[in-house]
Structure 1
């Protein structure tokens, strides 16, 4: 953790350059992400990322959305104890996520901003399509570890480029037979480890500081507010229809990110 400091950072200089309306736009993105999570369970970054990148570069947007993922999953990761057996059970995707984040963050730091925006748009499209289609399959025991490593690696790349690791991880855990509390605990542990690796890699490769972590943690507040705001309306909304509408909107926004990057023309 020696790479962290209060004086250095990525987020503060960018946020200081924004005007009030742009700050409001970021806050609205986080509130909307929280509202969608409160109804459908879809992670906040999937909804917030396409909006936040209107105001911040992709690298800073990924960093901003990192701490809400950790803070939202630590309680579920610790619930019920049995940490060591659970970690042993998910060792393959855990190793994949660590390696994937180290490589993914290094690639993101090296990319030109417009290329990073296009890559983030592609990752968001993949995530939204996975959630729309919800592919289901059963893994043979012999394939569990190599597939777990590969999908953990892929999820980490999506995390480091677009802050959306969840869909690939969920697909693997369901295929490996995880259900109920076991599923929730396993995906929470992987997400926490994944994002800690991402933040640590950012600290060494892009000089992220403790101020960045504080700002990112503060981003959890509007997301939580969104979850609380939608609670009275949750029962009156049809979760499946709402989910499809949201994912279609995410797809449209992700396509717009790619178009705006001008990598295609």
Structure 2
């Protein structure tokens, strides 16, 4: 991957993953969204998606293990997660690999929708337990397709998981489970298409270091910064970034 020998691009990659890890450490999500959004302006989206694999996987495993009673939550979310994996692989095999077609515009639209949901005083109604049997797989399949097209895992998985009525620590753990499965599906698809070779793997290992450092720092800052203020600034930034990428992808 030639971008590793380009010092300005390398600096941008390291700074991006430091920032993305910091945000994830504070609010429990945002690493792939920030990484794909910012890196998409300096490198090809497919290269950004390849760099994302190891930082996302390791930080998400850290997140899902940091909580009680993982087994029951895994069983509850299993149908959704199987559908996430299937949707991601189907999307990649169908040619939705990030960087093709309208991927930049799609990423911008996804960021805009996610930011708008986070900023508006809207909350989805709680999903009743009887609906999880069909809603979970449907949301998982759609999330997989969005992951394949954009490299971003948050839609519509995050709003759905928030609507399950999980208490805060369980929700953070559930997000870690969903993001881990999405990352594994994306990595498998990229590897099968030759998009995750030795150069990409080396770049992903390098990106892991600032991501972990940022996540550790974010965990420390979590207790010092108002979560509501930080979250509002975060979503405003995503709104601006999403608008820029959507404009860029359509012109």
One of 90, 93, 97 as aligned partner of 2:77: 90
Deviations for 1:108-140, whole angstroms, at most 9, x for unmatched residues?
A: 338636x22111111222222233346231122
Determine whether 1:147 maps to 2:129.
Answer: no
> Which residue number corresponds to residue 62 of structure 1?
49
Change (3 A) 1:146 1:46: same
1:49 deviation in Å? 2.1
Consecutive unaligned residues of structure 1, counting only runs of 5 or more, are 1-11
Q: Which residue of 2 aligns with 1:5?
A: none
Counterpart position of 1:162: 150
Shift, 1:42, TM fit = 3.3
Residues 216 and 130 of structure 1: CA distance in aligned 2, closer, same or farther (over 3 Å): farther
- Would you say 1:124 and 2:111 are equivalent positions? yes
Query: Counterparts of 2:98 and 2:230 in 1: how far apart (Å)?
Result: 37
Contact map agreement 1:29 1:52 (CA 8 A) in 2? yes
CA distance in 2 between partners of 1:228 and 1:79 (Å):
13
Report the equivalent of 1:220. 208
- Separation of aligned partners in 1, 2:242 and 2:29: 16
Instruction: Kindly indicate whether the alpha-carbon contact (under 8 Å) linking 1:109 and 1:205 is maintained by their aligned counterparts in 2.
Output: no
User: What secondary structure sits across from 2:89 in the alignment?
Assistant: helix
Change (3 A) 1:184 1:199: same
Kept in 2, the 8 Å contact 1:62–1:160? The answer is no
Q: Residues 1-265 of structure 1 correspond to what in structure 2 (within 5 A)? A: 12-16=1-5, 19-78=6-65, 85-106=72-93, 107-109=95-97, 112=100, 115-133=102-120, 135-166=123-154, 168-229=156-217, 235-261=223-249, 263=250, 265=251
Asked which structure has the greater CA Rg, the reply is 1
User: Structure 2: any 5+ residue segments left out of the alignment?
Assistant: none
| 1:124-166 per-position Cα deviation (integer Å, ceiling 9, x unaligned) | 2222223334623112233212211121122223333333323
Aligned counterparts of 1:196 and 1:169: Cα–Cα separation in 2: 16
TM-score (norm 2): 0.84
TM-score scaled to structure 1, two decimals? 0.80
